[in-house]
Each structure stands twice: as C-alpha cells, then as structure tokens.
Chain A
Amino acid sequence: MVVQALKDQGVDTVFGYPGGAVLPIYDEIFQQNDIRHILVRHEQGAVHAAEGYARSTGKPGVVLVTSGPAATNAVTGLTDALLDSIPIVVLTGQVPTFMIGTDGFQEADTVGITRPCTKHNWLVKDTNKLSETIHQAFHVALTGRPGPTLVDIPKDVQFATGTYVPPQKARTEHYRPQVKGDTLAITELVEMMEQAERPVFYTGGGVINSGPGASQLLRELVEATGFPITSTLMGLGAYPASGEKWLGMLGMHGLYEANMAMHDCDLMINIGARFDDRITGRLDSFSPGSKKVHIDIDASSINKVIHVDLPILGDVGHVLEDLLRIWKSRGRKVNKDGLKAWWSQIEEWRAVKCLSYTNSDKIIKPQYALQRLEALTKDMDRYITTEVGQHQMWAAQFLGFEDPNRWMTSGGLGTMGYGLPASNGVQIAHPDALVINVAGDASILMNIQEISTAVQFRLPVKQFILNNERLGMVRQWQQLLHGERYSQSWTESLPDFPKMAEAFGCKGRRVSDPAELDDAIHEMIEYDGPFLLEVLVEKHENCFPMIPSGEPHNKMLLGDDKATDAIKGGGAVLV
C-alpha cells in the first residue's frame, strides 16, 4: 500500500536504508520496478540526498528509513529542510502499535522528536488511514511554504491489509494556504514603485520555491522596471548572474554594492525572503531610510524580525503576475531621473571591486580555484552543491547562476555534511548533468561515507575540495573575535583524500600548483564517474567582504588589514 501510494504520487526515486521496522515495505520494493531505491550509507545522507533531489527538480524528495536510530539520524536533515523550505516526505518504520511505549528494541518517539523539525508529522495506527495519510503528507510538504513531513508507520500496520484511498480522494481541503495577494496592497506597491528614487529588489528562496514561472516573471519585472536586484544565498539563480541589473548576493559575506544598496535604498521590495540575521546585520540600523515591502506566503515571516510598511501575503508567482499586470496597466511608470542617479551611485560602489584578492603563482588561492571552476564549467549543464563554511561563501560569490534550481546549499541551518549527499541526490535527478560539490576539508568528512553511494550507483558527482587544513570560517571568527587564539580549528590528521577516494572506488587527484589547476579541473569534468579533486589552498585566507556581527550594512570589512578583533561589544554574543 505504501509503494502504491508513492507511485500514485508520481514518485520515481526513494532514498533509504532498510531495517527491522520497515522490512515489509522493503519487501514490496523488491517486488516492483517502478520506484528506484537508492541505498545510502547513513540516514542523514538519505535526507540530504532527497533535499538535493527536491531542490534541483521542484518535486518532493522521498526518504524511507527504519525506526529508532534511523529516525534520529534523519533529524538533522529534517531540520535543514524545514529552515530552507524544501519539500520532502520521510517515511519511518516504528515498532508495532502494541509495543509503542514499552522501550522496545529500536523504539524512539519519532513523532515527538520530529515534531519541531517537520512542517507536520503523523503516526499511523490504522492501516485504513495509511494511504490517505501519505497523500496528505505530500500535499502538506508541497503546499504553501514547502517543508518536510514525516509519516511514522508501525510494523503491524505495514503487515495488515486495509482499504486503499487514491490521491484524488484523500482529504486535503483544510490545508489550503492563500496564494493570491491582496490586489489593493499590490496596487499600493505599484504606486511606491512609480515614485521610488532608490528602489531595490531583495529576493530569496521563495522565488525558487514558487517554481520556474516565478523566476521568469521576476526577470521580466526587473528588465521592465530597471530596478537593481540582489538576492539571498537561497535565491541565487532566480535572476541570472549575468543580468545587468544583478548586484550579487547580499548579507554577511555579500557584495559591497548589494549591501550598500540595501542600506541606502528608499524602497526595499522583499520577494520571498525572510530578513534572516545573516542578511539584516544590526537590526536597529538596517536600511534606515527605506519603505519596506514584504511578499511572502508565510504570514509568520511577516513582521517577525523587521517591521515592514506593506505586507503582501501570497505566493510569489501569483503576486508577481498581478504586480506586472497592474504596473503595466498604469502606464509602466518609473522615476527615471531618480533611477539614473541611483545607478550611477551603484556604479561607484561596484568600482570598489569588493571581491578582489591578491593572487599568487605559488599557492592556489581559494577564490582563484573557484574562478577557474566557474570559467571552465559555466557553459555546461551544471548543478552546484556545497558544504558549509568559507568555501560555501566563496562559491556563492564567485560562481554565477543563470537559472533557478541549479544551486543547492544549506542556508538556514548551515549543515556541514550537506553537500556530498545532496550532490548524489541531484545527480540521480539529472543523470547527464555535471554535478559538483564545492566542499571544505572539514565539512566533507561529516558525511564522507556517501561517496560509497555514489560509487554503487555510478553517479559521476565531482567533489571539489578546497583544503586549507582548517575549519576556515571558525578560524576566521577566532581571528576577528578571539584575539587569534585558534582553539581546535585545525585538523591535525586529515586523510590522504585522493587515496581515500580510491579506496572507495572513486577517482581522486590532488593539486597544489596554480599552473596545474586548469588541467586538474578538466580531468575532473571529463572523467566519466565519481571524482574527488583535492585543491590545496592558502591556509589563512579570509572570506571578504564581511559585515562583522553587530554592525550594519554600511560597515563592511573589505580586507584583512582591519579584520583582527573586528567584532566587538554587543556583536560578540551573536553568531
């Protein structure tokens, strides 16, 4: 029944790991060919792979794991998906209903543990309700602000027979979040846009989640109005990086021009972003002179952190459609003189060239490694995943994304160990594409076992490791905040990465000479199978620009000279 429900939901792939409490479902999986099961090496890897699959396709990712430790291992992935609004459906096995509460073998209170880290979860005690519950789990995961759902299925419920309810008959009507924005509010926004002298679009993951149509509408709106646009880490690709209105990413490690535009604008139009603390910096001096508009499908995101002047509750795609229509019907007006002056100001900021760094012909700078990766792969059918840390920020700064769903990173939770399993999930969904995980030496070890999954399923994923033998971001903060006392932020016994890759059955190479970098990247791309490229990079490079915590957008650090002990006062308690 579970397998039938998944088939009826259009599921073609399940990421999972069998165990005692899900054996009946695995028995069904054995006896069919419609759903492909990807055997992972750790349940956290299953959830991240499902996230990669979901983020790169817009379809829900599906996970099947057993009870107890499997469910607790899935918790990090669930929380990650919750914070980044990724639709995934996790099915867990549970001890039989008559054993629940007896501390049975591999029993855990899965729905209790996962309640705060799922959008919704269910414990199914009656086989007659099983199929309907699974359909509801898909509905809730995909509807409104997407997120993870979990269905916990006791083993006796799996064995029993019951009535199957097809998806069309499943009751889902009571969960129907509003998608159309209020027309009066949208008209008010149009009036603001007609008059604004210094407008900026600030977009987020909500645009990507709303579907490719929303990204298309956003592009049309930006081109037609000529307003500058910046995006959060989660929203990269909704507007093309090559677009002339593109300011680059904003936030703590965002571009100077993007953050200055946010600080000095007079109209901020937030489309599907959530004023995360990585974005806002110091709250009481966040964009002090602007009117703020917030388009979001989640009412609890509005006025949560930043008080906005005009909230518009609705799906980004629907609201943008109405916004364009109303703006056009009122004569496509913008404040031309204001915009002209605004763009010349932005050009001055751009001239600062905040991403510049001192290159070397002796040692590979991490920025250079990513610039070369970008140059050699940008025209390819390319998907990028990352781990978490300095390499992630450099990847966001130096790689350009022309389309949505091409960039998979752990934004909200910041989960080290996300990238490798996520790259597996992306490659499953896009077998012929080039999938690269930009990683750090520390992060990749957190789920390194998933290389084995890539080898088993012949997934030609590329692990691009920037190895500085440090926990780079931790080290950077210790320099900025703790007087260069580098407590526990370097690794004294890293594995020999290429040899380790080969032990897994994956190809590996190490490169340390800048002159050989291009050749190594070419070999990585051209190799027909999983490949691990270890790039030995400058060990003490810091990631700039940076807004030190506790500071506003216009107090960015652009380079190393002022960095030591830059975080002071109230900022020191922030993360």
Chain B
Amino acid sequence: MAALKIKKGSSRKSAYELRDPNAEVIERHTLAVLVDNEAGVLARVIGLFSGRGYNIDSLTVAEVDHTGHRSRITIVTTGTPAVIEQIKAQLGRIVPVHEVHDLTVEGASVERELALFKVSGTGDKRVEALRLADIFRARVVDSTLESFIFEITGSPEKIDAFADLMRPLGLVELARTGVAALARGSEG
C-alpha cells in the first residue's frame, strides 16, 4: 500500500462542521478523554475502537485527580475527517466519559512521550551511542560495561528519530509510554 498522506487537522470549526467527508485524507488526531476512574472504563474505550474498527496509534491512561476519581486517557488515532468526528461522538456517548477534547483542532498543544532505550555494545559504537544521547538530551539511568539504558522525553517524532539512530548502535529493547498531551495556554 502506498504511504498514506497524513496531515494535521487544521480546522477550528465546531464538531458539527464536518470537513469534506469524501476526502480520503487520513489525519492524525490527538484526543484527550476525561473519564470517571471506575472499573472497566478503559475496556469501554478500547472496545469502542476495536468494535467499530478505528485505529489506535498510541494510548496513555492514568488517574489525574485522585479525590475526583478522574482519569485522563490520551489517544492518538488516525482516520478520515468523518471517522475522526465519529470517534469523538462515540466517545462522548460512553456514560463515564465527561469530556472529549480534540487537541489537534482545538488550538496549539504540546505532546510528549517518555521512552527507555537499552543499547548494548562496546568500543566505538558505545561511545557513539553516548554522544548521540547527549545530543538528544537523553539521560543515562542504568549502565553496565556493555550497555546503557537511556531515558528520553520528547515528541513521538524525536523518539522515532532517536530509535533510528540507536538501531545500528546496538538497540536491544525499547519501552515507550505513549503520548501525553495538553493544550497550550492558561485555560484548563
């Protein structure tokens, strides 16, 4: 299959102002979903995506308000504009879902992901890995004579780039947290 054209959603119109539904442009959107932290809520969200055939590129979930029992689920998904609108409407229909925000269209936002890289090697490769880690502002969190574990934080693209560089230098294992994202500005 040819590489799909991916563009960031640019519209700031309301959820009902559907962009051309026939346009076969696959967009990548980051959704923030605020839910009651109750049993099964994640299963409901994941079940919705699998049951209706939507994509999940990345999914992150954790409690963000202990007293209010609220969790925040950050989902990165891809689809045509019509599918993205459907995903948001379907998420909004789940009873314990309080808010659904499409960070991609609601204004500027920041996205960060944390990853741990285990890179093993000796000699020049080991030195090169450490030098590149420095350039990428990755920290060494574990070290043996033949390996490092790097901790790196950044956009998913930065982590992809770092992984591409580490692969020939002895990357043996990689753990990523998935995307956490917030809208810029002072409002919550």
B44 within 8 A of A: yes
- Interface: A332 (CB within 8 A): no
Task: Please choose the segment from A109-117, A371-379, A500-508 that sits at the chain B interface, where 4 or more of its residues have CB less than 8 A away.
Answer: A109-117
- Whether A119 sits at the interface, judged by CB under 8 Å, is yes
Are the CB atoms of B40 and A300 closer together than 8 Å? no
Given contacts A116-B47, A140-B95, contact A300 B89 (CB under 8 A): yes
Nearest-CB residue, chain B, relative to A313: B16
CB contacts under 8 Å to B, within A98-122, are: 111-112, 115-116, 119-120
Contacts of B96 in A (CB 8 A): 120
CB neighbors of A among B86-112 (8 A) = 86, 89-90, 92-96, 98
What CA separation (Å) do A302 and B85 show in the bound complex? Answer: 10
Pair B21/A299 contact, Cβ less than 8 Å? no
Known A115-B47, A116-B47, A119-B95; contact A302-B16, beta-carbon cutoff 8 A: yes
Contact: B95 with A175, CB < 8 Å?
yes
CB distance from B136 to the nearest CB of A (A): 42
The answer to whether B62 has its CB under 8 Å from any CB of chain A is no
Is A311 part of the contact surface with B, judged by Cβ < 8 Å? Answer: yes
Interface string of A293-318 (1 = CB under 8 A from B): 00000111011100100010100000
A311 vs B15: C-alpha distance when bound (angstroms): 11
- Is the pair B86, A304 in contact by a Cβ cutoff of 8 Å? yes
Q: Is B18 an interface residue (CB 8 A)?
A: yes
Across the two chains, which residue of chain A brings its CB closest to B20?
Answer: A307
Contacts of A80-135 to chain B: CB distance below 8 A? 111-112, 115-116, 119-120, 123
Give bound CA distance, A313 to B15, whole Å.
Answer: 12
User: What's the nearest-Cβ distance from chain B to residue A294, in Å?
Assistant: 10
Cβ-defined partner of A303 (8 Å) among B21, B39, B92 = B21
Check A300 against B18 for contact (C-beta < 8 Å): no
Given the complex, which residues of B lie within 8 Å of A313, measured CB to CB? 16
Nearest CB to that of A143 among chain B residues?
A: B95
Contact status A307-B40, CB under 8 Å: no
Does A174 touch B at the CB level, under 8 Å? Answer: yes
Interface residues on A, range: 10 to 19
* Bound form: Cα–Cα A537–B96 in Å: 51
Complex Cα spacing A119 to B48, Å: 12
Residues of B within 8 A of A112 (CB): 40, 43
Q: Is B6 an interface residue (CB 8 A)?
A: no
A307 B18 Cβ-Cβ under 8 A: yes
Cα–Cα, bound, A87→B64 (Å): 33
Task: Please give me the residue from chain B that is nearest to A139 by CB atom.
Answer: B95
CB proximity to A under 8 Å, residues B42-81: 43-44, 47, 51
Q: Are A123 and B39 in contact (CB under 8 A)?
A: yes
Whether the pair B86, A300 counts as a contact (CB closer than 8 A) is: yes
* Residue in A closest to B95 when the chains form the complex, CB atoms: A120
Task: State which residues 1-31 of B face A: CB under 8 Å.
Answer: 15-16, 18, 21
Chain A 174-190 interface mask (CB, 8 Å, partner B; 1/0) = 11000000000000000
Q: Which residues of A contact B40 (CB under 8 A)?
A: 111-112, 115, 123
B92 is contacted by which of A119, A120, A174, A299 (Cβ under 8 Å)? A299
User: 0/1 per residue, A307-337, Cβ < 8 Å to B?
Assistant: 1000101000000000000000000000000
Cα distance A188–B106 in the bound complex, in angstroms: 26
Q: Are B44 and A303 interface neighbours, CB within 8 A?
A: no
Chain A min CB distance to B51 (Å) = 5
Q: What's the Cα separation between A119 and B96 when bound, in Å?
A: 11
Residues of A within 8 A of B21 (CB): 303, 307
Q: Which of B47, B51, B86, B90 has the most CB of A within 10 A?
A: B86
Q: Which residue of A lies closest to B43 (CB)?
A: A115
* Candidates B15, B44, B89, B98; contact of A115 at CB < 8 Å: B44
User: Closest CB-CB distance, B19 to chain A, in whole Å?
Assistant: 10
Q: Which residue of A lies closest to B48 (CB)?
A: A116
* Chain A minimum-CB-distance residue to B90: A300
In-complex Cβ contact of B51 among A116, A174, A300, A304 (8 A): A116
Q: Would you give the shortest CB distance from A302 to chain B, in whole angstroms?
A: 7
Query: How many angstroms from the CA of A439 to the CA of B138 in the assembled complex?
Result: 71
A302-B89 contact in complex given A115-B40, A140-B95, C-beta closer than 8 Å: yes
Question: Given the known A-B contacts A112-B43, A115-B44, A175-B95, are A307 and B82 also in contact in the complex, defined by CB atoms under 8 Å?
Answer: yes
Q: Provide a sorted-by-A list of 8 A–B residue pairs whose CB atoms are within 8 angstroms.
A: A111-B40, A112-B43, A119-B95, A299-B15, A299-B93, A300-B90, A307-B82, A313-B16
For the complex with contacts A115-B43, A299-B15, A311-B16, 16 further pairs of A-B residues with Cβ separation under 8 Å are: A112-B40, A115-B40, A115-B44, A116-B51, A123-B39, A298-B89, A300-B86, A300-B90, A303-B16, A303-B21, A303-B82, A303-B85, A304-B86, A307-B21, A307-B82, A313-B16
Closest 5 CB pairs of A and B: A300-B89, A120-B95, A299-B89, A307-B21, A300-B90
